[in-house]
Structure 1
């Protein structure tokens, strides 16, 4: 709560996260300033020794290099020229945002890559049509995680299958984890409602709350399009990022993409993409080796602060896990709960935990081992309970200013994190209310169907 309040008040996300981390450690270490200071150093050393965290931070920095190189090559200008002058497919703010919307829906393999590509493609089009970057960030964020949690042929599916399999192996439930997951995804009401609400907001240009006052980018983007530069200098790197994610998920999963490592895959994807870009850009004399190197450095430097924010977001997530925030909230709900309200309460609990910790995956890991036994014990629909966990995890993560997906969507769209959170929140709350209503409704319609 301290981190969130400070973020909204100071608009300094690193300061806000630092305050939350320090207070949490202060509680954990008996209100001793010396012990808290030691624990703070130990926490960051521990995080920076985790391979997946280092790879995720490297991914955030390397994203900057890719985006800067695409801009420097002229490929983005060529793409804008093609979309706005040659084909006239993009000739309004609505069409500019719809391009990013459909990219977000179609590229479901990894939420970070989805946000990055939707933002990279949509940003020059939105600048051309004078669309605020906050609106682009809303579209990127509202499609990437929801679609990834609905079409589970990715890391999301791998995690959920593993968590459900654990419940089967321990004898809590019976059946096949794949069938149960597919059944549960049918109850992922938040993801469905978020996609519909986002599409309607774009199609009818619905601005509510802070979005009415979203500011246009003041960046001096090169919008004097150069029709002589091929848009392939932008499209080929984007295609490579999509293809390499599949390749590295297959490799790290030893032949099974569902078992692949998401953090390793996106890290190697960026390295491989940059390597091919070097050969392509320098080989076609688009730029010299010196220009390539300098541009890659400038891009990485621009996004280094984002990597720092991500590190602090991981740190506060670790602190909330140590404080057992999720288990405590779940225990409160388990004391007196109606069968008909079970899925609605699980959705709210998962939302609160995900919002507080900034991680949907962490929420799944906390809540599925709690929600499944609750559903079995009350003879409720297990798939509905798991669907409520998935929906709540995505909803809370969607709203949270300390979420890595929130930060990456802001990064991809060149929008301040706090502005993105404030402008997106009303739409997310509408989708969340719809999802909550549906969970209550289905709770009354499907009791005792475990």
Structure 2
């Protein structure tokens, strides 16, 4: 069994705010950050909405000018989130043992906007106009590499590519490194970089909403659910074992990752049920908790009716009808690729801290026979344990149990 990991620092960067405080304030207010795509002209496409991060100036957040030509927007976001996570944890990475800090990130596709620009240069101007940095700036492992280089981190590194489930799966891999004796790992997911190339790839999946009203486009568990809205951002976390944290003088931390589970769905057409519920059961078993111990579920909330129904069935089967409060604050940001579940985990940390469950935005007509207690306004209740669920396109399921410091 993998021992608990404690979260001693986190960096949040989302459409709802730069930094945890801004994100939390806007989330509790139910103020969605979904609007018309600003990163490129989405007019010719059937889907024209996104959850984008407004007003982000990489120079203002300490990204050196030399890095700008070699990084995608997504990587710049990740570098800032990593800086904030280390600051929040009170860690100077340079003061850690040489191989004492690892990096594990998740990505769904890499730096799509950078890749799109260089492909455009190739076909419109010729190969001599393609940046040499194209060799890695688009790559799905680039965030791990750039964070490692910037902070001189020589511990174990890795990347997981399980789409929306990636933000949780990265933490699972990080916990294994802690189990093997690595003192500290920075892990999570920051994803999304809207561009025509990436947009077409997402449209091909058939799950993006074509509704152009920002308040009606992404409605998980609603009678009008018709797909999701993409977004960008996520969160990175400094993870340590309790012993490692105490050894450097830390006496309190944000929360503990008490249990995790990952499963894979059977192939379509086999008639076998999906395995999201099994992932949740594995996470609960590892945490040593019963379903009755969970105070809130942060849902995957696909926004696709058949997927919403499958998740509702899993929740109802595990907790009983109306058995646990369920929330989907990602209705305010869109689904952030590999950053989505990581942002949900950060939001769950804040929910535990303040004793309030954030709302699901814009859902007006929850499907009654789903049988879930969908939270649509802030609910002030004690939160000691939260379950975060995520599903990645292609059959990936992940679950994490987050608990108050014990």
- TM interval, shorter chain, is under 0.3
**Whose strand proportion is higher, 1 or 2?**
2
**Whose helix proportion is higher, 1 or 2?**
1
